[in-house]
Amino acid sequence: MAILTASRSPCSLSPSPRSQDPFWVKKRYSVTQLPPITVTSHLSTVHEAEVHSRSRTITRTPTPVHSVTPSKTSGDSVLDESDDHNLHAALTSEKTSNTVQSEFGHCANQSYRYISQHNPDKPVAEDEIEEPPYYILFTTYFSYLLLVVIGHLRDLLGKRFAKSSFIDLMIHDGYAPLVSDFQSFYARRLVQRVNDCFYQPISGVAGRTILVYDRYSEDFNRTQTYTGTTTRALNISSYNYLGFAQAHGSYADAVEESIKRYGVSACGTRLEGGTCDLHRIAEALVARFIGTEDALICSMGFATNSTFIPALVGKGCLVISDEHNHASARIGVRQSGACVRMFKHNDMGSLEELLREVISQGQPKTHRSWKKILVIVEGLYSMEGTMVNLPKIIELKKKYKFYLFVDEAHSIGALGPHGRGVADYFNVPPSSVDVLMGTFTKSFGAAGGYIAGPKLLINSLRMHGHSGPHAEAMAPPVLMQIVATTTSIMGVSSVDDLATSKSTSHQPTFKPSTNGVAMSEVEDEYLHPGMVPASALPTWFSIPSSLADGSEARERIRRLAFNARYLRAGLKKLGFITYGHPSSPIVPLLTFNPGKMLMFAQMMRTRKPTPLAVVVIAYPVTPLVTSRVRFCVSASHTKEDIDVVLRACDEIGDILDLKHGKGKRWPIEEIVKRSVELVHSI
Amino acid sequence: MSAGNATLEPLLTWLTLILAQLERTFYKVPGSAVIARYVRSSHQNDPGRTVLELILIVFAVRTLMQSRSRDKSEGKLIKFSEKEIDELIDEWTPEPLSAPLTEWEQRDLASVPVIAGPNGPKPKILSTGKTVINLASYNFAGLAGNEHIKERAIETLRKYGLGSCGPPGFYGTVDVHLELERDIADFLGTESAILYSQGFVTISSVIPAFCKRGDIIVADRAVNFAIQKGIQISRSTVRWYDHNDLKSLEDVLISVEKDRRKRGTPITRRFIITEGIFERDGEIVDLPKLIELKHKYKYRLILDESISFGSVGRTGRGLTELYNVPASQVDMLVGSVANGLCSAGGFCAGSTIVTEHQRINGTSFVFSASMPPLLAVAGSEGISFLRNTPSALTSLQENVRAVRAVLEKTEGIAVVGHRASPIVHFHLKIPCIANGSANGIATNPTTVMPPPTGPSFDYEAEEKILQDIVDDALANGVFITRAKRLRGQEMVETRPTVRIVVTAALTKKEIEKAAGVVKGSVAKVLGKRKA
């Protein structure tokens, strides 16, 4: 990893007056001043629009500004709707008027919406893995081989002739090296070459656009030099699926109010004096949102897996894990002491085969039967964009009696017609999954994670999970972001529909928990627990009317679904190889060659007029050959933003020879024109 | 015969042609002549060798072709027919996913007080609506509810939004994170620092980032749960020394070195892992002596300052300030922004090599979203508060003395820990005796279990009495808590304690009054029990 230095060589080309200061040097109260924007891209016009809209919303009230004027400013024209939907624009501007264009793009055209939902008439599609031509595979392996050989040569010669720079890798002064040269070989000799693409510091909101600090390296990425300037780029990489990363608007207003009322910290662990009423309210809301009896909240997404899985399984238990499961789940399983077996990624046949083997064989050596078997899968896989085949797993679960743990870190909020994750997407009752885990970092623009399930289970986890007595409780502002966003997705019912609940007695009843928040309420519909009664919310939370009916969030969910499908379909039609499910907002574009991956990121970042911030990933996160670019689509993107991405990919893909996909190709103009048709065709 | 030959003739010619063609192509490949020459000459010298080499090649090809997954267990599998497997599956009944909580656990969970509104020195309890004095939450320097921090948090919210929406590697590193890292490094005087988004996972991620299989860890027997988990993940060889006994540590260090000499193995990485102020009992480690030992025996020191950072020393820099030891002497100094600075997250401070290594290898750093920017700013503001307000730490120490003075005079309980520790633990003086007792056995560094001293105790019975004390104190307006442990998951079971967290946000009078209430509750509960 690069060492951040502020030094700047005298021979550098463009010494700017600010360049002597690295950006983190104390500028305590400068947070409100934006650093200078360098690129005269059309995105800077977005910045102007932002200033406009800030001046408009300078007197923020909890209710939205009911401005009659359409939100279009002269500067927006490039990114905003350019077609004739003035009527729509006027209508929707009411809802989006207190958002900022650089954080959340306006998109009034109702045809740019899609409902993400599984078609029950069709079988669940198997993941297709498209293979590249052999020469691509060959050159990729060859480039790794070359890098490894050169790396070892440099180590060999370096250790002999430049001992001083290798001192940390050799035994010195009676100490073994802190990091052995073998362990760090990959980081030193391969990752360092592409370090330019990672750990780029940003400023401001990671919304529709992002302010990236400009930097360059004079010593082959060992250190990075910051120029002090920033570039505003289109952000197609943050986990901001529903676009809730916003510094302005109703959600931020609610968070501000919570800071005023609660401060910033919970000051303690959940079991030892860090629980406040907001925790209880948020947990009850999350349980309602997921559609389970109870839920618990943990202050960190990673820790949700790593500290609660050990409370589920232990010695004598078996965990069957998808091979692409996230590191946090693996750490959790390792800490639990349970046995682990893996099955091929998202391959239900492999899972069934494994289940038959392990149940019939029992524990290794003793052949005693397993205490219990827990299958851990993810709703949406973060690197592949693939979606779990939930109906099939539930079918297997009935036969093989295992427990099912679904990690919905990426899918919650992002999938399903109501944004309630994979269960919602497949229209499966959430109770058919034993443990539903998810995070708030991604779709909700907050932090931390949750585990939802039956009350018995959740209470047991509260007592036996590591987080309860040892980890800090979630901070109140984060809780409020969760409360505000989940509420807006569900909508608020003005009347307490206690009367209607009586008639539907077969539904699970939400017992009033001892938190003083009346939750004795039954949803009208089992699968989609309906609206939140106002009594379940903090009394001081005055939710604006546009959020209360759930329409604002519904727009977000549908925009996300459209954008996700459009980008994927567009890339396919351009001839790229992509992985994953059509509805997945994670769209990996395969570059195979690690060198091309680096070039792709750099060309995207320096692209004129619109720079794009993209995430690239390679081995060891992915298999060796399948280096990739990972796009994360957001509801904050407009259709035009996706056009921009597609155009950029089209050009760069030609230059880098990345188009190896099969199937009929369309020219870019046709894709842009027939986008709606495309989205509905896949 | 001849007829046979005649039919074979074209075939043979064809074969010869093919062979000739193959030979020509072979010689076209650059370098092939060398190989041919080598094979020919080696065959000439020693025909047996050719055979051996051929066998080797065949073996190598076979090894390469073999599938490398789970071949070892294949042989041990019992063969079943499909029908038998189906029967076994039908027969198998798994245990329930979670056992229901016991009656005591249910009571324990229900007795956790919920605070209505902001937490701070005097929060309101939701169930009773009463305002109580808080001696349970971490608020050492009194940063909770600080208006300036709130203001700065709101400013940050308005610029950065709430979540960072990404891991540090993928556009999740916000400038305020780097600012807080720099602030921590400056504050402590280390080269750099790295920020994790939760305090608890910090050290359990730092340890396995450096300690690998084959490395040696020498750790205190009473380290906190997070360290235990980190050690478990690391798979290193662990040696244990008696709790906070540096003599025992030295013995272990000597025995490890002796062991290595005897085996003649090369030097591996060696670490001492301990806590600054022990979360479990409030003991403080003798840092200068520890540093001396570490240098003498060439160990690296991983010091967990989750409790001591922000609570001891003149300005809250922690143990290094208390003992006036440069923080750069500690190789990996781990602290908690959540506890010490009333925000969220944790950090590891040390040399640049140490922190940069974690940016690729610290699992919970790499694979987790970075912390919300406004919490990072709250941390930075906490540091500047500590820098500018040394009086906070002075009054904290005064309050500690006041609490201890009252509690030490209380009958029936034993106050443990160091007198400067801002967390004060006490347990029952007379243990609830369980069946059986054991005699002293010599310390064995290969096991975490301490040598048994004195009679064993009935864990749950003691917990219940302590909980009665806690409940009674709450009813009388003082919020304290039992030190909650994960029974059955901890490596060593220690005496249950009640933990008091002292804060600078209360006046000495209020603290004394609160300690008096605790004293009253102890007397009442223990008195009732006797009667």
Asked, for residue B55, whether it belongs to a domain, the answer is no
Question: By the CB < 8 Å criterion, does A403 face chain B?
Answer: yes
* CA distances (Å), origin B209, targets A243, B235, B366, B504: 34, 11, 11, 36
Are residues B160 and B214 located together in one domain of the fold? Answer: yes
Cross-chain Cβ contact A327/B363 below 8 Å: yes
Q: Shortest CB distance from A199 goes to which of B162, B168, B481?
A: B168
Which residues lie below 8 Å from residue B299, measured CB to CB, with a gap of 6+? B218, B253, B270, B271, B272, B293
Asked, for residue B191, whether it belongs to a domain, the answer is yes
Asked, for residue B38, whether it belongs to a domain, the answer is no
Are residues B127 and B151 located together in one domain of the fold? Answer: no
Domain residues of chain A, as ranges? Answer: 1-33+180-225, 250-490
Which domain does B376 fall in, by range? 147-389
pLDDT for residue A128: 79
As for the ipTM of the complex, it is: 0.86
Reported as a single tens digit per residue, the pLDDT across A152-185 is 999 889 888 888 878 778 888 888 888 887 778 8
Cross-chain Cβ contact B360/A280 below 8 Å: no
Are residues B179 and B309 located together in one domain of the fold? Answer: yes
Residue B207 buriedness (CB in 10 A; 0-12 / 13-18 / 19+): buried
Structure tokens at A203: 């400023």
Structure tokens at B422: 């801002």
Return residues 45-104 of B near A (CB < 8 Å): 73, 76-78, 80, 84-85, 88-89, 92-101
Q: DSSP 3-state assignment of B438?
A: coil
Cross-chain Cβ contact B201/A210 below 8 Å: no
- Between CA A437 and CA A442, with CA A440 as vertex, the angle to 5 degrees is 105
Q: DSSP 3-state assignment of B524?
A: helix
Are residues B135 and B160 located together in one domain of the fold? Answer: no
Are residues B385 and B396 located together in one domain of the fold? Answer: no
The total of other beta-carbon atoms located within 10 Å of residue A84's CB is: 9
Are residues B213 and B340 located together in one domain of the fold? Answer: yes
3-state SS track over A374-405 = EEEEECECCCCCCECCHHHHHHHHHHHCCEEE
pLDDT for residue B29: 80
Are residues B332 and B462 located together in one domain of the fold? Answer: no
Measured between CA atoms, the residue of chain A closest to residue B111 is A271
Q: Give the residue carrying structure tokens 């979630």.
A: A474
Asked, for residue B217, whether it belongs to a domain, the answer is yes
Q: Give the residue carrying structure tokens 């063969």.
A: B79
Asked, for residue B340, whether it belongs to a domain, the answer is yes
The Cα B199–Cα B227 span in angstroms is 12
Asked, for residue B30, whether it belongs to a domain, the answer is no
pLDDT for residue B70: 56
Cross-chain Cβ contact B89/A399 below 8 Å: yes
- For A178, phi and psi rounded to 5 degrees? -60, -35
Q: Domain A250-490 belongs to what topology?
A: Aspartate Aminotransferase; domain 2 (3.40.640)
Q: What is the pLDDT along chain B (531 residues), one digit of tens a residue?
A: 555 667 788 888 999 999 999 888 888 888 788 888 887 887 777 878 888 888 999 999 888 877 665 555 555 778 888 888 888 988 899 999 988 899 999 999 999 999 999 999 999 999 999 999 999 999 999 999 899 999 999 999 999 999 999 999 999 999 999 999 999 999 999 999 999 999 999 999 999 999 998 899 999 999 999 999 999 999 999 999 999 999 999 999 999 999 999 998 888 999 999 999 999 999 999 999 999 999 999 999 999 999 999 999 999 999 999 999 999 999 999 999 999 999 999 999 999 999 999 998 999 999 999 999 999 999 999 999 999 999 999 999 999 999 999 999 998 899 999 999 999 999 998 877 665 444 445 567 888 877 666 567 788 889 999 999 999 999 999 999 999 988 888 888 888 999 999 999 999 999 999 999 999 999 999 988 877
CATH number at residue B525: 3.90.1150.10
Measured between CA atoms, the residue of chain B closest to residue A276 is B115
Asked, for residue B171, whether it belongs to a domain, the answer is yes
Cross-chain Cβ contact B368/A302 below 8 Å: yes
State the alpha helices, DSSP H only, in A401-454.
422-425
Are residues B368 and B310 located together in one domain of the fold? Answer: yes
Query: Between A and B, how many residue pairs show a Cβ–Cβ distance under 8 A?
Result: 392
Asked, for residue B94, whether it belongs to a domain, the answer is no
Return residues 200-239 of B near A (CB < 8 Å): 200-201, 204, 210, 212, 215, 224-226, 229, 232-233
Q: Chain A partners of B117 at a C-beta cutoff of 8 Å?
A: 261-262, 276-277
> Most A CBs within 10 Å: which of B171, B352, B423, as the mutation test of the A interface?
B171
Are residues B202 and B225 located together in one domain of the fold? Answer: yes
Q: DSSP 3-state assignment of A526?
A: coil
Are residues B428 and B488 located together in one domain of the fold? Answer: yes
Are residues B395 and B375 located together in one domain of the fold? Answer: no
Calculate how close chain A gets to B168, using CA atoms only, in Å.
6
Greater confidence (A595 vs A21) lies with A595
Cross-chain Cβ contact A359/B92 below 8 Å: yes
Are residues B118 and B262 located together in one domain of the fold? Answer: no
- For A512, phi and psi rounded to 5 degrees? -65, 120
Please, which pLDDT band fits residue A43 given cuts at 50, 70 and 90? low
Q: Chain B partners of A176 at a C-beta cutoff of 8 Å?
A: 215, 266-270
Return residues 112-131 of B near A (CB < 8 Å): 112-120, 126-127
What is the total count of domains within chain B? Answer: 2
Residue A3 buriedness (CB in 10 A; 0-12 / 13-18 / 19+): middle
CATH number at residue B333: 3.40.640.10
Question: By the CB < 8 Å criterion, does A635 face chain B?
Answer: no
